[in-house]
Amino acid sequence: MKRLSTVLGGIIIVGLIGTAVSAELLPIRDPLLQDASARLLPPGAEYFFGTDNYGRDVFSRVIFGARSALYVAIASVSLATFAGVIIGAVTGTRGGALDGFTQRVNTAMLGFPTLVLAVVLITVLGPSPNGVLIGIAVGVFPQMVRLSHAITVSVKTEEYVRFTTSMGLTPWRIAVRRIMPRIASPVLAYATGYIGIALILESALSFLGLGVPPPTPSWGGMLLEGRLYMEAAPWLAVAPGLTLCAAVFAFVFVGDYVRDLLDPRNRRR
């Protein structure tokens, strides 16, 4: 069952990324094209997911919405992971007052929900894809610092790391040469699963009106529009909602598989 869910998750991820990247090449309608004569049409042969209150093709908007959602989610988690691993590994290797100060600041940031941190940043930067990206990255960053720091503190007591320290290398070089290779596997697994969380955050911010500004398609924005027509045209919310759920579960399943694959205890079995 777990293997099946992993394969299915991989297919969904590849399919979403492939359609998002090649959206302009696909034989689908313009997601911004309005047609007053085709308002609120139900799903059918001509419009697979129906149309919205402006007559726009919901299927096209879901596909183009995947582009902004995946861009923000993958880029924000990648940025947070890169910065978090560097800070967590270097400060954990160095120790001392700097490490203590960094961890206190990080603990304070962890006290705020990720969505709250993102909302504060986006309020300052303004709603835009890059603003959402930075906001989510700042919210995810403390999680990556905590994970990489915890692994660093555990690894640096091992004999080969202590030998490197006795050679007089700087904390930076020790972290890069000895610590970060050990951090890579668990962080990669954690980051893969966290992309699914970032997709939820991106959609939540768009639903709150702080994400990608309309009329650019976004899953959260489509959910916001669809809630007004839940009785008359439920497909407006169902289509992006199911797509979002499928994407989130796909990244979670693949993240679990990557974690199990890279776990040395499983490799020894």
pTM here is 0.88
pLDDT digits (tens, 9 = 90+) for 197-218: 999 999 999 998 888 888 889 9
Taken as a whole, the chain contains a residue count of 269
Residue 92 has what pLDDT?
A: 87
Q: What topology does CATH give the domain 68-263?
A: MetI-like fold (1.10.3720)
**What residue has token string 């199990």?**
260
Chain mean pLDDT for the chain: 88
Residue 126 has what pLDDT?
A: 79
What the block records as the tokens of 59 is: 């299927």
Question: Could you give the percent of the chain with pLDDT greater than 70?
Answer: 91
The stretch 89-99 carries a mean pLDDT of 86
Q: Are 21 and 261 in contact (CB under 8 A)?
A: no
Annotated domain spans of the chain = 68-263
What the block records as the tokens of 261 is: 């694959």
Residue 10 has what pLDDT?
A: 94
pLDDT-derived band of residue 2, with 50, 70 and 90 as boundaries?
Answer: confident
H-helix or E-strand containing 193? helix 180-207
Angle at 92 between CA 116 and CA 157, to 5 degrees: 140
Q: Is the pLDDT of residue 156 over 80?
A: no
Residue 1 has what pLDDT?
A: 67
The stretch 45-62 carries a mean pLDDT of 94
pLDDT digits (tens, 9 = 90+) for 95-124: 888 889 999 999 999 988 888 888 888 888
Q: Are 72 and 136 in contact (CB under 8 A)?
A: yes
Closest listed residue to residue 133, CA positions, set 201, 67, 38, 35: 201
pLDDT digits (tens, 9 = 90+) for 25-39: 888 999 999 999 999
The stretch 245-264 carries a mean pLDDT of 87
Residue 80 has what pLDDT?
A: 95
